[in-house]
Structure 1
Amino acid sequence: MVRAGPRTAVPPVLLGGPVYSTILYSVSERVARVTLNRPDARNSLNDTMVDELLDAFARARDDDEVRVVVLTGAGDRAFCAGADLGGLAASGVAATREELRASAPFRLFTAFPKIGKPVLARLAGHAVAGGLGLAAACDLVIAADDVKLATPEVNVGLWPMMIMAVINRNVAPKHAFKLYYTGERITAAEGREIGLVTEVVPRAELDERVDALARSIAAKSPVGLRRGRDAFFAVEGRPLEDAVEYLLGELVELAATEDAKEGITAFLERREPDFKGR
């Protein structure tokens, strides 16, 4: 059994790309690991971290060797505590539509559907405020059983405006309103019950489970994963007939790919497929 011990901050590392000051980026076995690396600040978000996250997401998107992205936080105290009130939240109020779209929160949360690859959140620490929104923006969320989740903005006279866009896509209104109205912390298990968390595992098994799930997904066809994930976001909010028409067209195109043909052939020949991403 692999124990998920604390993951402390280490100096930034150059990996054939930019040197990051607030995150870590590494690739192994077709999985890119992106780590929020401000443990002394509970991995809170500032403008620099948002810019570096967006760069890391773009690197993962454009790297054919990467098939899955794992987003996590350094240490076991916090996955992410949300916005750094001394930085991101105090950077000024956007007034125009152009300023809003150029703001760090807008750029960050609208980036997830464009990554083109499955994104898993590994929660070894608490996820609160914008940190919970960051986790909710991921496709899957695997949490240690002692992790807590919360939207405490109401306690300081604010409201989780930005993160409602992603939380409301995962949680039914009655559960969402309770989070927003009370600001109370809930357990990872309660988060699973309302749709915020995919799986809850004992802390000692967290890394083992995240690694196994990431490897399992990475073994699938990258072209199938990308086109399927893109289609998932493309049909959100569409009328049923429009969605079915669009998805049928996507299925026809996907079935013509080399990976789909290889997958069907491998199934008929009772062997593991050798996907090439084409």
Structure 2
Amino acid sequence: MGNALSRATMADLFQALASAETDPDVRVIVIASTGRIFSAGHDIFEMAPGGDEAATRASQRDVLEDCKTLMLRIMRLDKPVIACVQGVATAGGAQLVSACDLAVAAHSARFCTPGVNFGGFCTTPLIGIGRNIHRKHAMEMALTGDMVSADEALRFGLVNRVVPDDDLVDATEDLAQKIARRGPEGIRHGKAAFYAQAEMPIDDAYILAIDKMIDACACDDAREGLTALQRKEKPIWDRE
């Protein structure tokens, strides 16, 4: 199936993400694909039942554990990750979009969690999707298995922007370049703090955020930013 999240594909993604994370010239990571399908989700041949129930369950668990690790890896990268979505993103493909920090979608893009159409349920994709969008929107997607348009995904909060198909690459590049011009040190710590506090009670979230904000004010990027503001110049972040 088109751009399926097979174990081999996920291994390639792990390797690409690791390479991008350690490359000092990479400030923003974009996940994109070619063809009419952004990602069809899990490889059905890796998830299909087999003759040996115990072996099948173990194999399915391996696939789902790899997928879980990939989604968490994206969220925990110290660089922003943008999904550039054309075509269809289904099941684990929609989950992949939800794991990215930002998402830009072509107007023709479509999203769905179709497990219910085949007698199952997209339980693991809903973990990420349900943390991006309102619970009732997530449940409607999961309970109906219907396709959701790019405009609906924007209204739900699954994507940040919807652009004409021909403008998708340029719009994603513009967003990535804008973020790349910001201070990488602040972004690195700020992204980690945002996801950490999101799962905390509000009192604990404030405790964490106050500490992180004080740390951010003392970092080299903050000093450079304030100095550049006083000089009325653009800050230079290229020390690293």
TM (normalized to structure 1)?
A: 0.79
1:136 equivalent in structure 2: 98
Query: Which of 156, 176, 195 is matched with 2:118 structurally?
Result: 156
Query: Which of 214, 220, 235 is matched with 1:258 structurally?
Result: 220
1:86 equivalent in structure 2: 45
Offset of 1:211 from its aligned partner? 0.8
Partners of 2:41 and 2:63 in 1: CA distance: 19
One-letter amino acid matched to 1:274 = I
- Deviations along 1:169-208, one digit per CA (max 9) or x if unpaired, are 1111111111011101111001100111110001111111
Please report the RMSD computed on the Cα atoms of aligned residues, expressed in angstroms. Answer: 1.9
Q: Note if 1:61 corresponds to 2:21.
A: yes
Give 3-state SS (helix, strand or coil) of 1:103's partner: helix
Partners of 2:209 and 2:197 in 1: CA distance: 8
Offset of 1:89 from its aligned partner? 5.6
- Within a 5 Å distance, the mapping from 1:96-107 to structure 2 comes to 103-107=65-69
2:135 equivalent in structure 1: 173
1:203 equivalent in structure 2: 165
Give 3-state SS (helix, strand or coil) of 1:111's partner: helix
2:147 equivalent in structure 1: 185
Q: Is the 8 A contact 2:75 2:101 kept in 1?
A: no
Query: Which of 10, 14, 21 is matched with 1:50 structurally?
Result: 10
One-letter amino acid matched to 1:259 = D
Query: Which of 30, 51, 60 is matched with 1:70 structurally?
Result: 30
Q: Note if 1:238 corresponds to 2:238.
A: no
2:72 equivalent in structure 1: 110
Give 3-state SS (helix, strand or coil) of 1:168's partner: helix
2:52 equivalent in structure 1: none
Partners of 1:138 and 1:104 in 2: CA distance: 16
One-letter amino acid matched to 2:29 = V
Give 3-state SS (helix, strand or coil) of 1:87's partner: helix
Give 3-state SS (helix, strand or coil) of 2:84's partner: strand
Offset of 1:92 from its aligned partner? 3.3
Offset of 1:106 from its aligned partner? 2.0
Partners of 2:63 and 2:166 in 1: CA distance: 41
Give structure 1 stretches of 5+ with no counterpart. Answer: 1-40
Give 3-state SS (helix, strand or coil) of 1:234's partner: helix
One-letter amino acid matched to 1:59 = S
Determine what percentage of the aligned residue pairs are the same residue.
34
Partners of 2:64 and 2:5 in 1: CA distance: 16
Give 3-state SS (helix, strand or coil) of 1:73's partner: coil
Offset of 1:143 from its aligned partner? 0.6
Change (3 A) 1:74 1:103: same
Offset of 1:101 from its aligned partner? 9.8
Q: Is the 8 A contact 2:106 2:168 kept in 1?
A: yes
Offset of 1:87 from its aligned partner? 2.6
Partners of 1:88 and 1:59 in 2: CA distance: 29
Q: Larger % of helix: which?
A: 2
Change (3 A) 1:127 1:101: closer
